[in-house]
Each structure stands twice: as C-alpha cells, then as structure tokens.
A and B are shown apart, each in its own frame.
Chain A
C-alpha cells in the first residue's frame, strides 16, 4: 500500500534546543500508526513539526505532495486534521461554533453539514451540548470536541496527540472505539501519539518508538506487543 505521509530526516528545534534528530516516518494509506515513547522523547514535537508549528528541517510528503515549506494553515487545508496536545478548545465559543469554524475553509457547504451530522452521530454528548460554551465541557467532552473539530476538516490523515490524556478509563475506551470507527468507516489514516501504550498498540497496525528525539525501533505492532524487552524498556508494562 502507498504511504499517505512520508517523513524523511525530520529535525526540530525549540529555540536553541534540538528536540528531534533526523526522524523517518511513513504512514500507510488507511492505516493507524502509533508513536510511542517516554516523556520528552519528541512525540508531540513530531506532530508539530509535520504541521510546521515548530522550527524544523527535513522533507515531508503528504500524498506525494511536498508540504515541508507550507504554512500550518495550508497543510491543514490539504486534509491533515490535528488533535493537538491540550485539546485546543476555543473555550469562549459554543460547541457548535467550535465545529462550525471549519466552514470557514470548506467550499462544499452541504458536505460540511453532513460531516457535522456525522460528528454528532459519533459523539451524541456533543449534540446535547451544542449551545454550551466549550470551556464548560468536561475533559472527555473537550477531547471529543477536539476530535470532532478535526473531523470537520474532512481529513484524510489525523494526527492525534494523547487522546487519552487525563481521562477516566471508561471514557478512554469510548474514545478509542470511536477512533477505530473513524479509521475503518471513514477511511481516515491516523498517526497517534500516546502515553497509554497498551491502548494505542491495540488500535495501531504500525508502531514507531522514539527515544530522546530519535526513532529507536519501528515495525508492525504485534512485534512490539510481543517483545517483552522492548515493552519493559520503553513502554513500562
């Protein structure tokens, strides 16, 4: 299968501090890839670097198109939906406005409305709270809203930064169930960063393991799942 995202020699910096060293990544069309590693390994930075949010160098190809020099806004418009660290909620806007924001970049209004219905179907709780200020939502609901917002961009690739962060186990399970649905029914490829390695390994078909800004190992998720030394050393379980 062809790769939807190809990253070659990706490095990134925060000021003078280098956070990524020549990372190579390839994400298959329709697949789910997990990016795992300890705190500070550079997982979030990788997602940021793909969308050009941090200073970076290296090549990024999305669907064969060179996106390394595009502005974040333009990368997103090509169909890369990012669910950022901290959820990126527009706290002063209502739930509906958070979702409707995507209409700004979308030409196909009818399809955008269909996507909004889809988001409400996936997350009925958001529908119950359409008129509520997004800042008053619970953590789980805000995570759902962040995923919903990314879906509103009709993405072909979703970059998810710790969708399980700070959430109760039941909510995490619900969210991962929905992510699987989005991947299988919506044919959306995913790159998912997780601390909750067990959960991510279940969803993902491919895994990359990062350590201090470098890829230490990669391959089909069964390999990592079945390799006890790897699991102990990097994933802590």
Chain B
C-alpha cells in the first residue's frame, strides 16, 4: 500500500509537468491548428537561461520569473519573425520549420552550455511532509506551481478582455477581425504564453531529471500523449490528461511492464487514443458541413 501511494504521488508529480507541456501544445494548437514540435526544446533552452542566472547568483524565484518573462518574449518573437511570414504556407513547411526550431535550440544549448548534464537547484527541500516517506515537499511544490499557473491562465482567459479576444480570434478569426481584434497578434500572444508555460515545465522538471539539452525529448512525448488524452483542443483536458498519463505511467511502469518500457507506454497511449477516441476524453468531436 505504501509503495502504491508513493507511486501515485510520483505519478501526480510527473503528471503536473506533463500537464504544463501539454498546456503549451494546446495553447498553440487551439489558435493555429499546429503542433509545435519545438515546444520541449524551447522549454529546455529557457531552463538553461534560468540555470545561468542562478549560477550567476540570482535568487531562484527571481530567476524563475525572469525566465518566464524572457520565454514569453522569445515565443512572441519566434511567431512574429519566423512563423508570420509562413502564415499561408502548407502544413508540411510548418512541420519542417518546427523541426528546424527543435534542432536549432538543441544545438544552440549544447554549443553554449555543452552537452554534459548539470544539476538544477530545486526551490523546494526534498524533505518529507508527514515524515513517513510518502510525500515530499518537492512533489507538493511541483503540483502547486502547476495548479497556480493553471489558475492564473483560467482567470486570464475567462475574466480579461485580452483573454476573451484571444479565444475569439482562435474560434472565428474572420469574425474577430470584424470586431477589431488584431488576430495575428493574438497568435503571437499564444506563442508567447506557450513558451512561458513551457519554461515553467522545464524549470519544474530539471531538478528531477537533471539539466541537459535532451532533457525534454521524452517529456514532450508524454506531454503530447497528455494533450491527446484530454482532447488536443481543450486546456482543462490537457491538464487532466497530464495527471492521468503521469499516474498511469507510474502505476503501469511499476506493476505491469517495468520502468524501462514507460516511454513505450506513452507512445502506446498516443496510438491508442488516435485509433479509438481521436477527440480525447474531454474533447468535442467537431462536425463540419462541407
């Protein structure tokens, strides 16, 4: 029983991180219908920035916030400079562009900071909460940061006019323009937010898996699985999907298939969802009249 609870908590912790990655994917998907394959590498690069700041003596939480701001600006910049000229390009060109971004950030991080792994400090002490080895402060911290971020995003999208304009632009760009919404800038904001969310995910996961340029590769697969499970167009679903995949992955890994096959499990989830329920658990099937 104790082992089960440990695995459950560990699953929720990694689930929180998957949820962040999935949320970043969904953020771009709902507004542009694209899957940003570079989401993970952008997050990794932002995490290196945080590491460099902390290494230079900046306090953790200050570096955390600065990194989020820089990542946001970076995401905005990428959309404005690289993707906006490709607005009318076919999907395949975009996919190539995303893959290029992926290898670019991977190589750039390796070039600047080398490919050797680095220890990333955790702001949360690894101490037990109850003193029985079940739940650590680190784990609670990761889940709490994710939930706080989700709360902020919910408030932003539901209660601010800018958030409303972003939702409107994603749903019906033509009509949004007729309401005076600068749709193209809303897409850029979406990219900025996705990059910022990704940065949070990177900084949460780095203390657990260590920092290296390939840190996010596997996590992106989990994030993708989470987004699919929750329904790729649904932010709340993405978060729920993150926790579901995190917990399942840990339980299946420790009781059924062993830890080595965990990533395979994530891929099986991707294929399974796409085969059986492409809209995801919380997704809506969109019927289009043709």
Contacts and interface: CB of A to CB of B under 8 A. Distances in A.
- A-B complex is real: yes
Interface in A42-96: 51, 53, 72-73, 76-77, 82, 84, 88-93
B208 interface: no
A212 B11 CA distance: 65
B175 A104 contact: no
A93 B182 CA distance: 18
A100 B161 contact: yes
A153 interface: yes
Contacts of A89: 172, 175
Interface in B11-50: none
Contacts of A76: 177-180
B164 interface: yes
B181 A101 contact: yes
A88 B164 contact: no
Given A88-B172, A104-B161, A93 B167 contact: yes
A162 B177 CA distance: 19
Nearest to A87: B175
Interface string B180-223: 11110000000000000000000000000000000000000000
A41 interface: no
A14 interface: no
A102 B179 contact: yes
A76 B171 CA distance: 19
A76 to B, nearest CB: 4
Contacts of A105: 179-181
A149 interface: yes
Among B161, B175, B179, B183, the most chain A Cβ lie within 10 Å of the Cβ of: B179
Contacts of B171: 90-93
A53 B177 contact: yes
B225 interface: no
A16 to B, nearest CB: 16
B174 interface: yes
A103 B161 CA distance: 6
A82 B175 CA distance: 9
A93 B163 CA distance: 12
Among A73, A82, A100, the most chain B Cβ lie within 10 Å of the Cβ of: A73
Among B177, B178, B180, B183, the most chain A Cβ lie within 10 Å of the Cβ of: B178
Interface of B: 161-162, 164-165, 167-168, 171-172, 174-183
Contacts of B165: 101, 104
Contacts of A92: 167, 171
Nearest to B183: A73
Given A51-B178, A101-B181, 7 more contacts: A73-B181, A88-B174, A88-B175, A90-B167, A101-B161, A104-B164, A153-B180
A28 interface: no
A115 interface: no
A211 interface: no
Interface string A178-218: 00000000000000000000000000000000000000000
Nearest to B163: A104
A76 B175 CA distance: 11
Contact of B182 (A73, A84, A101, A102): A73
A93 B164 CA distance: 9
Contacts of A51: 178
A97 interface: yes
B180 A104 contact: yes
B172 A90 contact: yes
Among A53, A88, A91, the most chain B Cβ lie within 10 Å of the Cβ of: A88
Nearest to B284: A92
Contacts of B179: 76, 101-102, 104-105, 149, 153
